[in-house]
Amino acid sequence: MCLGALVDAGVPLKEISKVLKKLPLKGYSLSERKVLRAGVSATKVDVLQSSGFAKKVQDAKRWEEIEKIVGASSLPDEIKRRGLGVFRLIYAAEAKVHGKAFRKVHLHELGAVDCLVDVFGTLAGLHLLGVRSVYSSAVNLGGGFVKTSHGTMPVPAPATAELLKDLPVYPSGVGFELTTPTGAALLKSLSNGFSEIPVFTPEKIGAGAGDRDLAQGPNILRIFIGNTLKESLEKAVTVIETNIDDMSPQAYQYVTERLFDGGALDVYLTPTVMKKMRPAVTLSVICDKTSRDNLIRILLRETTSIGLRYSEASRVTMERRSKGIRTKYGTVRVKFSSLGDIRKSSPEYEDCRRIAKKSGHSLLEVIEEAKKASAKGLGGNK
């Protein structure tokens, strides 16, 4: 349904497919079609499997197998990190409800191909749109019962319920499961908040269709895409900090990845000197208030720190959008930023690196050419 909503909003399915081809997956294809759900038009995207290779990957159900598939891909690092963050949530929930160690969990209900395509296809679509923030409404669980490998369970299924802890949910009168573990993990990982629609200017609207056509109402997932108003440029954030003087420097990369997976907006390290002139590092995390408690738990669990501090602050960020710019070496995605009469542009490093390797030109040449080409678009940036 996420894929259908993104395609319905204008992201070409073939562009999502191009990104997904960077995963070492074969034996599947994507199809799209227009359908009606309770009289409302929506796009239905299906993952079609057609070979023994797909079946082989379908059997890859443990964390290390998923991690290996993603690690062997040529996806952008940001998409790899965010995708593994979604899967980490799923495996952690399954481990909790089944009383098993994280690396011993075997995903029974989730097909690896379907799940990988759903997660990374959604991330690809958001990336292609240049989406910076995602906000969700309360989650409709559905109702009734669902069949699992452990028997018939009441909705929400145990793993779904675990994933949706601390989030606003509600049951409906529909006697079917309307939120799956994959959907719950995507919402929890990607959403900056769960509330009413924030103040913004919607520019595109997409509707992704579910399998069933329900009599009670349209079985669709709707996505609104747009820009926040200039009056909303100032955002409230939480700043978490802790001083560390007894941890191996090698651990900071892992800790930083876990913090970003947990919802951090930014993470940075500042060298400092503590009492008795001991060199140390101040680890700072900027986040939304909704992610604060989870990030505090990650900090205390994954570092040697035994205490931290946090405070509320405000930050102003420039409005940003991403656009593909043609250069003589190839197409480079460029981030355009604006605030009033201030205009900036920055070529995507991963695109420049890929083109440099493929073309034989130096990375500096490709970046410089991308900067020249993007300068022409600054005047029209909004």
Contact call for residues 336 and 328 (beta carbons, < 8 A): no
CA distance 287 to 94: 26
What is the secondary structure of 59-95 as a DSSP string? T--SHHHHHHHHHTS---HHHHHHHHHHHHHHHHHHH
Sole residue written with tokens 């790899």: 80
Phi then psi dihedrals of residue 188, to 5 deg: -65, -40
Q: Please state the domain extents for the chain.
A: 2-228, 234-316, 321-380
**Tens-of-pLDDT digits for all 382 residues of the chain?**
999 999 999 999 999 999 999 999 888 899 999 999 999 999 999 998 875 544 544 555 788 889 999 999 999 999 999 999 999 999 999 899 888 888 888 775 556 788 899 999 999 999 999 898 899 999 999 888 877 767 788 888 889 999 999 899 998 878 888 999 999 999 999 998 887 777 778 899 999 999 999 888 899 999 999 887 554 566 789 999 999 999 999 999 999 999 999 999 999 999 999 988 999 999 999 998 888 999 999 999 999 999 999 998 888 888 878 888 889 998 999 988 887 778 888 999 999 999 999 989 999 999 999 998 888 766 443 3
CA distance 364 to 362: 5
CA distance 36 to 59: 34
Both structure tokens of 116: 């990988």
Q: Is the dihedral of CA 217, 218, 219, 222 positive or negative?
A: negative
- Nearest to 139, CA basis, from 178, 106, 111: 178
Q: Amino acid identity, residue 267?
A: V
Both structure tokens of 331: 């197409």
Q: What is the CATH number of domain 234-316?
A: 3.30.70.1380
What is the secondary structure of 142-196 as a DSSP string? B-SEEEETTEEEESSPHHHHHHTTTS-EE--S-SSB---HHHHHHHHHHEEEESS
Q: Is the dihedral of CA 63, 66, 72, 75 positive or negative?
A: negative
The model carries a pTM of 0.62
End-to-end Cα, the chain, rounded Å: 30
Q: Are strands 319-327 and 278-287 parallel, antiparallel or unpaired?
A: unpaired
Burial classification of residue 62, based on how many CB atoms lie within 10 Å of its CB (0-12 exposed, 13-18 middle, 19 or more buried): middle
Strand order in the sheet with 319-327: 319-327, 330-339, 342-347
| Cis before 156? omega within 30 | yes
